[in-house]
Amino acid sequence: MESSSMNNTVGKDDDLLVDTAEAEALKKRISSHPLYGLLVGTIGDVDRIPRVRPNLSCQFPNPSSLSQPELDSFMEAYCFALSKLKEAMEEPQQETVAFINSMHLQLQELTRTHSKSTAEHSTSTTSSGERID
């Protein structure tokens, strides 16, 4: 009975080694892919955007089961999806910045108008000899 459980453990260890070797081979294939640099750069761009997490419901295939042309397509699609995500995350931020800048300009105009009218009012009251309190 002990030898059976021992063989079972050895079998699991062998499976783990095979899985690890496959994973390492896959990592090497992906990291040596021509689009890998673009992918890493796009991920970095997305990471620099303030966190507003959309619900990402799209599922990507398991890259370990892909052949080279399929890996090419996967990498292109993933880069494209990440760039679209970046654009979607940046758009509300850009609209907010534009709104804030517009409000800032309006406030500056209001304060200039108010300070001009106050200056004109103080000039007219001092020239007429009245006292300003």
Does residue 11 sit within a domain? no
* pLDDT value of position 95: 92
109 within some domain: yes
Count of residues making up the chain: 133
For residues 120 and 38, the model is more confident at 38
In a domain, 48, yes or no: yes
Please report the pLDDT score of residue 104 as a whole number: 94
What's the mean pLDDT when you consider all of the chain? Answer: 74
Average of per-residue pLDDT across 8-24: 67
Residue 13 lies in a domain: no
- Bigger pLDDT: 98 or 112? 98
Query: Is 6 part of any domain?
Result: no
pLDDT over 70, % of the chain: 61
- Tell me the pLDDT band of 15, cut-offs 50, 70 and 90: low
Quick check: is 8 in a domain? no
Predicted pLDDT of residue 26:
85
Instruction: Work out how many domains the chain is built from and give that number.
Output: 1
Residue 28 resides in a domain = no
Residue 99 has pLDDT above 90, yes or no: yes
What pLDDT was estimated at residue 97? 92
Domain of 62?
Answer: 33-127
- Residue 2 resides in a domain: no
